[in-house]
Chains A and B, each alone.
Chain A
Amino acid sequence: MSWNLDSDRPIFLQIVEHIELDIVSGALPPGMKVPSVRELASEASVNPNTMQRALSELERLGLMRTERTSGRYITEDRQMIDDLKNDLAASGVESFVSQMKKLGLTQDEIIKLIKEKF
């Protein structure tokens, strides 16, 4: 599996998350043409119907748009990409903090650790 998908969570959601990350990181830059459903399905080793569903979801979220004859493109709305980046960062920090709290660390200890590791 080239995309490292878990079998116990809906595959289309994991594909959506994977592509969101690629958009935020710039691996899929704004305005880029998205490969065909078949190509992506083959790359991710998933069923084309599942890939189709994931791309429809990304379109619904506004991260991709379809041009009737020429295919799908990544959004050029940088504000939307920044918002997505902030959302992903916020949820990452949230789960990190709750994990650290479970380990019994205080806020100061967590900040100290982050500074050491950064």
Chain B
Amino acid sequence: MSSLLSVSGLTKTYGNVTALNNISFELPGGRIIGLLGPNGSGKTTLIKIICGLLQPTSGTLTVEGNPIGVESKKVISYLPDTTYLGKSMTVEEIIKYFRDFYEDFDESRAYDMLGKLGINAKDRLKTMSKGTKEKVQLILVMSRRAHLYILDEPIAGVDPAARDYILNTIITNYDENATILISTHLISDVENILDDVIFLQQGNIVRYTSVEEIRGVEGKSVDSLFREVFRC
């Protein structure tokens, strides 16, 4: 399978701090990949560079052969770790906004998921709890028919029951050629849906392997391997 995202020799420094140190990897299509690492390991920096929100210090990235830019943004659906939507907007207004902005946005899918999670589209974001806001953002991101979904901490603020629904939404709603990159600390919640994991440590990729290999060869869960690799 040809690669969806190709990263080569990527370095990012902030002053004299190295956030990413000459990393190279490829993401194929049709996989769910966990991007795991302790705080400050470079996960969000890497994600922001892939999404074109930060410029790399050096190195090259391509998405389906194109450099980061208009073409790459068309096929990447990104869930940031912060809120960026207007607080006084209603969900309905935001959906219209997304429909205008992204040609791959599937409105009916968004309303369907909102209904299942019991969220009223007429509600304004500012009246919602933190967890509900997170659900809305994730619904918007997953309602695009993108090729690469990048989810930065998608389930951190939601309750366990909604977490199960969201993970189920992720595995049932994505196109089989699309890839999902999930950054999270809640490893035990997501590990059964992952195909592969990337372990990031101080700006280096220390492991990129399939999770069934971790279980089969090492007889460990991803969660316990993580605790072992990153023992403090």
Contact = CB atoms under 8 A, between A and B. Distances in A.
Given A45-B167, A47-B32, A7 B176 contact: no
A42 B32 contact: no
Contacts of A50: 195, 212
B191 interface: yes
A38 B224 CA distance: 28
A52 to B, nearest CB: 10
Interface stretch (A9-17, A21-29, A76-84, A85-93): A9-17
Interface string B179-201: 00000000010011111000000
Nearest to B217: A10
A12 B192 contact: no
A6 B212 CA distance: 12
Given A7-B215, A10-B212, A11-B192, A46 B222 contact: no
Interface string A22-49: 0000000000000000100110011111
Interface in A56-77: none
A5 B212 contact: no
Interface of B is mostly: helix
A114 interface: no
A53 B220 CA distance: 20
A103 interface: no
B164 to A, nearest CB: 7
Interface of A: 1, 5-12, 38, 41-42, 45-50, 53
B193 A8 contact: no
A47 to B, nearest CB: 5
Contacts of B192: 1, 5, 7, 11, 45-47
B216 interface: yes
Contact of A8 (B30, B164, B195, B220): B220
A8 B212 contact: no
Given A1-B192, A49-B30, A41 B222 contact: no
Given A7-B222, A10-B216, A47 B193 contact: yes
A38 B193 CA distance: 12
B224 A48 contact: no
Contact of B171 (A8, A9, A41): A41
Contact of B215 (A9, A41, A47): A9
B214 to A, nearest CB: 9
A84 B224 CA distance: 33
B90 interface: no
B168 interface: yes
Given A12-B212, A38-B172, A41-B171, A7 B195 contact: no
Nearest to B168: A42
Given A45-B192, A46-B192, A49-B31, A7 B223 contact: yes
A50 to B, nearest CB: 7
